[in-house]
Structure 1
Amino acid sequence: MDKNNHPSRTRNSRHKKNKYSFSKKIAFLSVFAISFILVCGGVYATYAMQHQPKEASKLEEDDQYEQKEAALLEKIRKDQNQEEFKTTEQEKTDGSIQTLIYEPVAADSIPQLPTIKTELTGLIDVAQKNSPKETAIKLIGYVKRVKINEQVISYQPVVETYTWDQEKKDWSEKTEQGKNTAFVNQKTKQPLSLQDIFISEANVLAVQQVVQQKLLSESPDGNAIIDDILNMPSISLDGTAFTYYSDKISLGLPENPTGKKEITLSYKEIAGYVNPEFIDVSSIKDALPNPLDPDKKYISLTFDDGPNPETTPRLLDILKEKGVKATFFMLGQNVVKHESVVKRVAEEGHEVASHSYSHPQLTGVDAQTVKEEVQNTDKAIYHAIGKLPTDFRPPYGAVNKDVAAIIGKPIIQWSVDSQDWQSHNAQAIIKRIDDTAYNDTIVLMHDIHPETVDAVSTVIDHLRGAGYEILPSKELLGKKAKPLHMYYGSKDERPVQ
Structure 2
Amino acid sequence: MERKNHPRGTRNSRREMKKNVFSKKITFISILTISIILICGGVYATYAMQHKPKEASELEDNSYYEQKEAALLTKIRESQKHEELESTEQEKTDGLIQTLTYEPIASDSIPQLLATKTELTTLMASIEKDSPKETAIKLVGHIKMLKINENVVGYQPVVDIYTWNYNAEDWYKKTELGQNTAFMNQKTKQPLTLQDIFMSESNILAVQQVIEQKLLSESPDGNAIIDSILNMPKISLDGTSFTYHPDAISLGLPENPTGKKEIMLDYKEIAGYVNPEFVDPASIKEVLPKPLDPNKKYISLTFDDGPNPETTPRLLDILKEKGVKATFFMLGQNVVKHEALVKRVAEEGHEVASHSYSHPQLTGVDAQRVKDEVQKTDKAIYHAIGKLPTDFRPPYGAVNKDVAKIIGKPIIQWSVDSQDWQSHNAQAIIKRIDETAYNDTIVLMHDIHPETVDAVATVIDRLRGEGYEILPSNDLLGKKAKPLHMYYGSKDERPVQ
Could you tell me how far apart the structure 2 residues matched to 1:110 and 1:288 are? 32
Q: Shift of the alpha carbon at 1:156?
A: 1.1
| Letter of the structure 2 residue corresponding to residue 393 of structure 1 | R
SS at 2:319's partner residue? helix
Q: Deviations over 1:461-483 (max 9, x none)?
A: 11011111100000000000000
Q: Which residue of 2 aligns with 1:441?
A: 441
Structure 1 residues 55-94: aligned runs within 5 Å? 62-94=62-94
Structure 1 residues 87-102: aligned runs within 5 Å? 87-102=87-102
SS at 1:451's partner residue? helix
Q: Shift of the alpha carbon at 1:276?
A: 0.8
Q: Deviations over 1:138-169 (max 9, x none)?
A: 22111111111221111111122222222221
Structure 1 residues 324-339: aligned runs within 5 Å? 324-339=324-339
Could you tell me how far apart the structure 2 residues matched to 1:447 and 1:64 are? 87
Q: CA separation of 1:59/1:232 partners in 2, compared to 1, >3 Å: closer, same or farther? A: closer
Could you tell me how far apart the structure 1 residues matched to 2:316 and 2:127 are? 69
Greater Cα shift, 83-92 or 359-368: 83-92
SS at 2:249's partner residue? strand
| Letter of the structure 2 residue corresponding to residue 288 of structure 1 | L
Q: Which residue of 2 aligns with 1:467?
A: 467
Q: Which residue of 1 aligns with 2:386?
A: 386
Q: Which residue of 2 aligns with 1:3?
A: none
Q: Shift of the alpha carbon at 1:288?
A: 3.1
Q: Shift of the alpha carbon at 1:223?
A: 0.7
Q: Shift of the alpha carbon at 1:61?
A: 5.9
The normalised TM-score by structure 1 is 0.87
The normalised TM-score by structure 2 is 0.87
Aligned residues: 442
Q: Which residue of 1 aligns with 2:234?
A: 234
SS at 1:142's partner residue? strand
Instruction: Tell me, yes or no, if the aligned pair for 2:59 and 2:65 is still in contact at 8 Å.
Output: no
Q: Shift of the alpha carbon at 1:60?
A: 11
Q: Which residue of 2 aligns with 1:398?
A: 398
Q: Which residue of 2 aligns with 1:248?
A: 248
Could you tell me how far apart the structure 2 residues matched to 1:215 and 1:393 are? 25
Q: Which residue of 1 aligns with 2:288?
A: 288
SS at 2:62's partner residue? helix
| Letter of the structure 1 residue corresponding to residue 222 of structure 2 | G
Greater Cα shift, 415-424 or 87-96: 87-96
Q: Which residue of 1 aligns with 2:481?
A: 481
Q: Which residue of 1 aligns with 2:222?
A: 222
Structure 1 residues 292-303: aligned runs within 5 Å? 292-303=292-303
| Letter of the structure 1 residue corresponding to residue 493 of structure 2 | E
Instruction: Tell me, yes or no, if the aligned pair for 2:85 and 2:144 is still in contact at 8 Å.
Output: no
Could you tell me how far apart the structure 2 residues matched to 1:451 and 1:59 are? 96
Structure 1 residues 95-174: aligned runs within 5 Å? 95-174=95-174
Q: Does 1:413 align with 2:388?
A: no
Greater Cα shift, 483-492 or 288-297: 288-297
Q: Deviations over 1:66-121 (max 9, x none)?
A: 11111000110011011112111111223322221101111111111100111111
Greater Cα shift, 180-189 or 227-236: 180-189
Q: Which residue of 1 aligns with 2:46?
A: none
| Letter of the structure 1 residue corresponding to residue 84 of structure 2 | E
Could you tell me how far apart the structure 2 residues matched to 1:220 and 1:310 are? 35
Q: Shift of the alpha carbon at 1:201?
A: 0.8
Could you tell me how far apart the structure 2 residues matched to 1:71 and 1:288 are? 50
Could you tell me how far apart the structure 1 residues matched to 2:113 and 2:456 are? 65
Could you tell me how far apart the structure 1 residues matched to 2:286 and 2:70 are? 51
Q: Which residue of 1 aligns with 2:21?
A: none
Could you tell me how far apart the structure 2 residues matched to 1:398 and 1:252 are? 34
Q: Which residue of 2 aligns with 1:262?
A: 262
Q: Deviations over 1:167-213 (max 9, x none)?
A: 22112223221111111111111111111111111011101101101
SS at 1:268's partner residue? helix
Instruction: Tell me, yes or no, if the aligned pair for 2:303 and 2:327 is still in contact at 8 Å.
Output: yes
Could you tell me how far apart the structure 1 residues matched to 2:375 and 2:172 are? 61
Could you tell me how far apart the structure 2 residues matched to 1:244 and 1:363 are? 39
Could you tell me how far apart the structure 2 residues matched to 1:202 and 1:59 are? 65
Could you tell me how far apart the structure 2 residues matched to 1:311 and 1:59 are? 91
SS at 2:342's partner residue? helix
What are structure 1's unaligned runs of at least 5 residues? 1-52
Instruction: Tell me, yes or no, if the aligned pair for 2:409 and 2:483 is still in contact at 8 Å.
Output: yes
Q: Which residue of 2 aligns with 1:432?
A: 432
Could you tell me how far apart the structure 2 residues matched to 1:466 and 1:95 are? 85
Greater Cα shift, 160-169 or 71-80: 160-169
| Letter of the structure 2 residue corresponding to residue 131 of structure 1 | S
Q: CA separation of 1:355/1:59 partners in 2, compared to 1, >3 Å: closer, same or farther? A: closer
Fraction of identical pairs, as percent = 81
Q: Which residue of 1 aligns with 2:195?
A: 195
Instruction: Tell me, yes or no, if the aligned pair for 2:148 and 2:246 is still in contact at 8 Å.
Output: yes
Query: For the aligned residues, what is the CA RMSD?
Result: 1.5
Q: Shift of the alpha carbon at 1:280?
A: 1.6
Q: Deviations over 1:352-383 (max 9, x none)?
A: 00000000000000000000000000001011
Q: Which residue of 1 aligns with 2:181?
A: 181
Could you tell me how far apart the structure 1 residues matched to 2:232 and 2:436 are? 43
Q: Shift of the alpha carbon at 1:445?
A: 0.4
Instruction: Tell me, yes or no, if the aligned pair for 2:271 and 2:287 is still in contact at 8 Å.
Output: yes
Q: Which residue of 2 aligns with 1:39?
A: none
| Letter of the structure 2 residue corresponding to residue 274 of structure 1 | V
What are structure 2's unaligned runs of at least 5 residues? 1-49
Could you tell me how far apart the structure 2 residues matched to 1:489 and 1:233 are? 31
SS at 1:428's partner residue? helix
Q: CA separation of 1:467/1:70 partners in 2, compared to 1, >3 Å: closer, same or farther? A: same
SS at 2:76's partner residue? helix
SS at 1:389's partner residue? coil
